[in-house]
Amino acid sequence: MTGVLVEVAPVVDPAVVEAVATAPRRRRPRWRGLTPYLYLLPAVALLAVWIYTPLVRTVGLSFSDWNLLPTSPREYVGLDNYATIIDQPELHQALGNTGIYILAGAVFTLVLPLLIALLSRVVRGRAKTVYQALIFVPFLVTPIASSAVWRWLFAEDGGALHGLASRLGWDMGNVFRDPGLVLTAVIVIVGWQLLGFGVLVVSAGIAGIDPDYAHAASLDGASPGQITRRITLPLLSPTLVFLGLMTILLSAQWTYPVIDVLTQGGPSGASTNIYYLLYELGFRNFDAGLSSAAGVLFFLGFGVIALVFVELSERLSFYDN
């Protein structure tokens, strides 16, 4: 006897279907849409407390005369602080020195790192890691510690570099009190620390370039120089633009601790920069209003430079799509 398997369709009650269709759907809680913003809340709170609040208070102080004493009242002076700081020759000297630091810093953060990174492409394996580590190590040393070591090296009594110069017949004298040498000394010390950072960033940019472009160009008969000039450098432009922007915006900040430890802005302001000028106005002259006015001017100036630089970077940079 042969059995026949018959599939019976389940019977669906129309009333059940209608009840399911008309049942209220479970709504997603509204607060779940705020979850991404809750993750950002700690960072935004820190920015508000440590960046924006002091900035707003600085703008307010720039319109007043105050000597930082809690018992001393603040006197509203309007735009007098801005007019005073613009007319001060110390500001013009600090701006000139800051421009020199920026131009010299570009050599240690752009030119030399680019040359070193391009020439070291032939290094492979562990040797490349070792040389990158050796170049990057100075950047890990705190500026205060490195400045103390350099002060000992340049010391007139027993300094290693001073003794070497004496053996070569050159009376170096006190480098950090010589108006003709102090700028060079600060630039060399800061550049020595920043060189490794620039080399590491440029090397990372070169590593992110697809080598197939160079291989294809070499098959077409392009020389190594042509590959570097027409392929590597254009694809490296976003990295170079980034380093250029960092050099412009942070050169004064990088040189400040070295100036504070070694020269105190001297001799006669020959090594001061805009950040050290702010420190002198605020915490040596106890003129919070004048220091705040200078800070607001520097903030606006660097802000305009940053906006212009970012706009130019979007037009000048070449990206690998």
Q: How confident is the model at residue 1 (pLDDT cuts 50, 70, 90)?
A: very low
Q: Which long-range contacts (CB under 8 A, 24 or more apart) does 258-264 make?
A: 258/143, 258/146, 258/147, 258/186, 258/189, 258/190, 259/186, 261/143, 261/144, 261/147, 261/148, 261/151, 262/147, 262/150, 262/151, 262/176, 262/185, 262/186, 262/189, 263/176, 263/177, 263/182, 263/186
pLDDT in tens, 47-58: 999 999 999 999
pLDDT at 24: 57
Instruction: For residues 158 and 58, give the distance between their C-alpha atoms in angstroms, rounded to a whole number.
Output: 45
CB crowding 92-131: b at 16 or more within 10 Å, else e: ebbbebbebbbebbbbbbbebbbebbbebeeeeeeeeeee
Average pLDDT over residues 23-36: 66
Give yes or no for residue 294 having a pLDDT over 90: yes
pLDDT at position 134, please? 83
Of residues 224 and 80, which shows the higher confidence score?
80
Asked if the model's pLDDT at residue 42 lies above 60, the reply is yes
pLDDT of residue 321: 60
Q: What is the pLDDT of residues 66-75, one digit of tens each?
A: 988 888 888 9
What's the pLDDT score for residue 131? 79
Tell me the range of 13-27, 136-150, 226-240, 290-304 where mean pLDDT is highest.
Answer: 290-304
The proportion of the chain whose per-residue pLDDT surpasses 90, expressed as a percent, equals: 36
Q: What is the pLDDT of residue 43?
A: 93
Rounded to an integer, the average pLDDT of 186-196 is 91
Q: What domains can be seen in the chain, in order of their start residue? A: 75-316 (1.10.3720.10)
Region 128-143: mean pLDDT is 83
The residue ranking higher by pLDDT, 307 or 30, is: 307
Average pLDDT over residues 34-52: 90
pLDDT band at 293 (very low <50, low <70, confident <90, very high): very high
